Amino acid sequence: MPQQVTVTEHLLLHQKRIPGATGQFTRLFNEIVLSAKIINREVNKAGLVDVLGFTGKTNVQGEEVKKLDEYANRILIHRMARSGVLCAMASEENADIIEVPHGLPVGDYICIFDPLDGSSNIDVNVNIGTIFSIFKRESPEGSHLLSSDVLQPGLRQVAAGYVLYGTSTMLVFTTGDGVHGFTMDPGVGEFLLSHPNIRIPERGRIYSVNEGYYSYWDEPTKAILEYFKSSDNNNRKPYSGRYIGSLVADFHRNLIYGGIFMYPADNRDPKKPQGKLRLTCEANPMAFLAEQAGGMAVDGRNRILELEVEHLHQRTPLFIGSREDVLKVREVYREFDAKG
Ligand code: FBP
């Protein structure tokens, strides 16, 4: 029988352990939970209402915007702005930093989000998600917000998480005190604690990558794939290939079963030499979760959470998941670099 602990109760328990905690955090999470419920309701009936397909607009990533993506973005911005605890937001869908509208109360927190991750899967009823990353401003409260307040390295996150709209709807997050999963009970309309203290297996049995891009990869990346597909690896048998095409869904499976998700750099598009995934709203929050669950996340050579953030929509290669598997990736890149 699940422990029937709600997100708010869990956060209040956590808050008690933080000297000087003000409750701002819990209020912010309450808005994330409410946004997730509203988006979940729309996702669940997507085929019945006019939210499938494209809006006809193109976003700052140069991607066509899906109606449900735009809907989720609108809900998150509206709810977050009314949390009373944010001084700024940023979204994968918006070119610039989103300030809290004048007249609404502000606070010290900054939330960066990918409103709907896995957009290529929206119209075909495959798992999608919402990803969020939370920082505290560094410049003095009440002073003019600086871009450096938003462009902080991932290791300065105070919380991160995702909502997975799947067979059940789950909220998985960390506040730097382990990773906890909550499952939506549709009968109650509440996220209830179902997966306390998630730990990712030290080594996995699954590799997750879009092999369709193999010919665009560099030699070390090809060698890494060969390692996971061969019997000459630490498992003494090939890893199993799984790729949903939604980072949240692929990451969540590996978090529970063990394994590695990879979105390497490729030379398909000279404008995107660092691959597709965004550092601020995808790689950093997932890396914080992975490390808090005992796993690891690198760009091939460097720890994702230590990467300098130069701009809001910066992209990065991502190798994330079970510690031993990600260490292998870094080892292969270092061997290639050593050969020069
Ligand atoms: P969106 O946030 O626009 O959905 O892009 C990210 C993403 O969909 C990830 O969820 C997923 O891992 C990846 O792109 C799939 O990319 P590809 O179709 O190139 O394999």
Note the helical H segments in the chain.
7-16, 24-44, 67-81, 147-150, 219-229, 247-257, 284-292, 323-339
pLDDT, mean of residues 210-219: 96
User: Which is the closest atom of ligand 1 to the Cα of 129?
Assistant: 10
The answer to whether residue 14 scores a pLDDT higher than 80 is no
**339 burial type by CB count under 10 A (0-12 exposed, 13-18 middle, 19+ buried):** exposed
Atom of ligand 1 nearest to the CA of 250: 12
Beta bridge partners of 165: 128, 169
Cβ(66)–Cβ(136) under 8 Å?
no
Q: Is 118 in the pocket of ligand 1 (CB under 6 A)?
A: yes
- Note the pLDDT tens digit of each residue in 149-200: 999 999 999 999 999 999 999 999 999 999 999 999 999 999 999 999 999 9
Question: Which residue in 209, 7, 44 sits closest to 128, CA to CA?
Answer: 44
How far, CA to CA in Å, does 85 sit from each of 26, 30, 70, 115, 214? 10, 11, 23, 19, 44
Q: What is the 3-state secondary structure (H, E, C) of 216-245?
A: HCCHHHHHHHHHHHCCCCCCCCCCEECCCC
Does any ligand 1 atom lie closer than 6 A to the CB of residue 69?
A: no
Strand partners, 263: 318
Whether the CB of 330 sits within 6 Å of ligand 1: no
Tokens of 237: 């048998």
Q: How far is the CA of 145 from the centre of ligand 1 (A)?
A: 31
Mean of pLDDT over the chain: 93
Distance 23 CA to ligand 1 centre (A): 34
Average pLDDT over residues 23-43: 92
Distance (angstroms) between ligand 1 centre and the Cα of 247 equals: 6
In this predicted structure, what is the pLDDT of residue 100? Answer: 94
Q: Is residue 208 within a helix (H) or strand (E), and if so which, with residue range? A: strand 206-208
Q: Tell me: the pLDDT tens digits for 66-122?
A: 899 999 999 999 999 999 999 999 999 999 999 999 999 999 999 999 999 998 898
Strand-pair partners of 174: 160, 179
pLDDT attached to residue 148: 96
Helices assigned H by DSSP within 45-194: 67-81, 147-150
Q: How far is the CA of 245 from the centre of ligand 1 (A)?
A: 6
pLDDT at 50 over 90: no
At residue 261, does pLDDT exceed 80? Answer: yes
% of the chain surpassing 90 pLDDT: 83
Q: Is the pLDDT of residue 1 over 60?
A: no
Atom of ligand 1 nearest to the CA of 210: 20
Q: What is the pLDDT of residue 21?
A: 64
Q: Is 246 in the pocket of ligand 1 (CB under 6 A)?
A: yes
Asked whether residue 59 carries a pLDDT value surpassing 90, the answer given is: no
CA–CA dist 291, 255 (Å, integer): 11
C-alpha distances out from residue 131 to 21, 30, 93, 163, Å: 24, 15, 13, 7
